[in-house]
Amino acid sequence: MRVSRLVYRSFLQGSKLLSGRSTQFTSPLASYSRNVPGEKDFNPIKRTGNILKNDLIRLKNEVIGIFHPGSENQQTKDIDEPHKYYSWQHNCDVLIVGGGVIGSSIAFFLLENFPGAMNVTVIEKDPTYTKCATTLSCGGLRQQFSLPENILMSQFGAKFLRELPRRCGIEGMDPPDVQFHPQGYLFLATESGAEQLTLNHDVQMDLGVKNVLLTKEQLQKRFPWLNTEDIELGCLGLENEGWFDPWTLLNALRSKAIALGAHYVQGEGVGFEFTEMPDVIISGDDSGLPYNRVNKLVVRLETGEERKVTFSNCVIACGPSSGHIAELANVGSGPGMLAFPLPVEPRKRYVFNVHCPKGPGIDLPFVIDPTGTYVRREGYGGNYICGRSPHEGEPEPSTANFDVDHDFFDQCVWPHLAHRIPAMQELKVKSSWAGHYDYNTFDQNAILGPHPYHHNLYFATGFSGHGLQQAPAVGQAIMEMMVEGQLTTMDLSRFTFDRILVGHKVLESNIV
C-alpha cells in the first residue's frame, strides 16, 4: 500500500517521541521536523495529529486558495500575512532572512531542485517591498565587468531571464514577462581609461561575451547625438545586455517559490540563540571555548509578538540590513574567526527620471560616462533614467531616510549629462527616488557561502549595486554550496567570507 509522505513523516515524528529518540527526520539537507504546535507539547499522538492537520490546511490553501484561477488576490494575502493562514513554522530546514530578489531566488532554486524535500521559510519585514533595493534599482543587466566571476554570474542571469516564463510560470496565470530591452551597455573611456577598458574587453571575450570596441570616430558615426570630444574608446554590448523590470523578476521568483512550498512570514529577526556543543571542534578556531552552534532565530512579527524558529541552515540575504543581522550571531564581536564583522552596510543612491523631448531615441544604450554618470531610456516618450554614485572624497548621503537631495542632480549629474549628450542641456526632472543597497566596504563584491565558524550560517549579500542581475546565479550557487557541498555551475569560491579573514580583496574595476 502506498503511504503519503505527509502521513509517513507525521507517523515517524510521533513514533520517535514514543521511543525517546530525536524528533528530527534526516533529509539530504537537514531536518524534516515542521509545524510543531508548541515546544512544550510533547504528547506524541496529539503532536502527530497537529502535524497532519497543519499540513492538510496548508495543502488546502495552496491547491484551492493560492493557485486557483478564481482566487482573487489570495496569493498576495498569503505573502503579506502568512502567519494568519499558515501555522507558525517552529522548525525549518532552511531559514532565509530577507525576501527580496536574492532571498526569493535562493528559495526558488532550493525548491525547484528538491521539490517537497525540505521546509524553506523566508522572513521579510516589508512584504510591500516599497523600500526594497530590488524594486528601487534601475534594472540593468550587463556582462561588462573585469572579474570573471561577475561576468559568469550575469551570463547565468541572462540565460535565466530567457527561461523565466517556463521555469517560474504558474498554471492558470500569465507567464512572467520582465520586458527586457536589449539595447546593451555603452562604457565610455577617456585616454587614461582606454587601456583598462581594453583589458576588460579581453577578459569578456575569453568568456564568450559578445561586445565590440569602438573608436572615437566609430562612436560618432554610430551615435551622432554623442559628444566624443574627450572620448578615446567605447565598448558596446551586443547581446544579453540592457535593462528589465525588477518587480516582475522578484514577483516571479517569490510566487514560484511559494507555489513550490516556501513559507513567507512578515517579521524581522531580532536575535539568534545558540546551543553549546563541547564535543565539536572547528578547524582554525583556537579560542579554546566550546563551540556554540547557531540554531534559532527570534522573529518579531508585525503585531509585536516575538516567536522563535529553529533551523538547520540559515541564509542572511537581507541586503543593507545584512551586517546588522550578522552581528546578532556574534559575527564581529566574538573571539577568533568571529572577531571579523560582515563588512556590509547600507548606502543611499539617487535615481532621477527626466524628460528631454530632443533626447536620443531607441538607439540609446545604457550609457556609462567616464565620470560614472549613467543614463538610459525609460519608455519611448522622451523620458530617461539617470544618476551617479558619489566620487571618492565626496560625502555619502545619510541613510537615516529616503529623502532625495535635488542639489546633487544639479551639481553632480546634469552637468555631465549635458556635456556627453548636448541635447540634454534642455531637460526637466519629472520624479526621483532614493534607495538603499548592500555596500561591501571591503571590496564591493558579493559575499557568498557559509561563515567559517558558523558552518550553517550562509551569506548572500554585499553586491554593491549588482544584486538584481546576479540574483539567479546566487540562488544556484547557494543551493549548490548548501546541498551538494561544492560549486559546480560557476566557480565563485573567491567570493566566500574566507577572503575577509586573510585580507585578500577581490576588486572589480567596472563599478558603476
Is the per-residue pLDDT at 8 higher than 50?
no
Taking each helix axis from N to C terminus, what angle separates 5-19 and 44-60, rounded to the nearest 10 degrees?
160
Q: Is 84's pLDDT higher than 50?
A: no
At 247, the pLDDT band (50, 70, 90 cuts) reads very high
What is the pLDDT, as a whole number, of residue 89?
Answer: 84
Question: pLDDT grade, residue 51 (50/70/90)?
Answer: low
Task: Give me the percent of the chain exceeding a pLDDT of 90.
Answer: 78
Q: Mean per-residue pLDDT for 248-276?
A: 96
3-class DSSP state for residue 189? strand
Instruction: Name the percent of the chain in helix, strand, coil, to the closest 5.
Output: 35, 25, 45
- Short-list 433, 370, 368, CA closest to 406: 433
Yes or no: say if 438 and 322 are a contact pair by the CB < 8 Å rule. Answer: yes
Residue 238: which pLDDT band, with cuts at 50, 70 and 90? Answer: very high
Tell me, letter by letter, the H, E, C secondary structure of 445-469: CCEEEECCCCCCEEEEECCCCCHHH
Q: What per-residue confidence (pLDDT) applies to 76?
A: 39
Give all domains of the chain, ordered by start, each with its CATH number: 1-66 (no CATH), 91-145+245-343+441-505 (3.50.50.60), 146-244+349-437 (3.30.9.10)
- The rounded distance, in Å, linking the Cα atoms of 315 and 449 is 9
> Could you tell me the three cell numbers for 432?
526621483
CB 103 within 8 A of CB 96: yes
Helix axes 101-113, 467-479, angle to 10 degrees: 30
DSSP secondary structure string for all residues of 315-328: EE--GGGHHHHHHH
The separation between the first and the last C-alpha atoms of the chain, rounded to the nearest angstrom, is 61
325-329: average pLDDT: 98
Rounded distance between C-alpha atoms, residue 460 and residue 477, angstroms = 10
pLDDT score of 195 more than 60 = yes
Residue 279 pLDDT grade (very low, low, confident, very high; cuts 50, 70, 90): confident
Query: What pLDDT score was predicted for residue 378?
Result: 95
- Per-residue 3-state assignment (H helix, E strand, C coil) for 108-160: HHHHHHCCCCCCEEEEECCCCCCCCCCCCCCCEECCCCCCHHHHHHHHHHHHH
- SS3 at position 44: helix
> pLDDT at residue 108 above 60?
yes
113-133 pLDDT, tens digit each: 999 999 999 999 999 999 999
Q: Residue 378 and residue 138: Cα distance in Å, rounded?
A: 10
Average pLDDT over residues 457-466: 96
DSSP letters, 352-366, are EEEE-TTS--TT--E
pLDDT given for residue 79 in this prediction: 40
Confidence of residue 58 (pLDDT cuts 50, 70, 90): low
Q: pLDDT confidence of 11, banded at 50, 70, 90?
A: very low
**80-89, 173-182, 322-331, 361-370, range with the lowest pLDDT:** 80-89
Write the DSSP string, 375-412: EEE-SSSSEEEEE-PPPTTSPPPPSSS----HHHIIII
What is the pLDDT of the chain when averaged over all its residues?
Answer: 86
Burial label for 238, CB within 10 Å (0-12, 13-18, 19+), is exposed
pLDDT at position 77 over 60: no
Exposed / middle / buried, residue 184 (Cβ in 10 Å: 0-12, 13-18, 19+)? buried
Q: What is the mean pLDDT of residues 22-47?
A: 38
Average pLDDT over residues 235-255: 97
In this structure, what C-alpha cell is assigned to residue 129?
Answer: 517591498
The pLDDT value recorded for residue 16 is 35
Predicted confidence at residue 392, as pLDDT, reads 86
- Using a 10 angstrom Cβ sphere, with 0-12 exposed, 13-18 middle and 19 or more buried, the burial of residue 407 is exposed
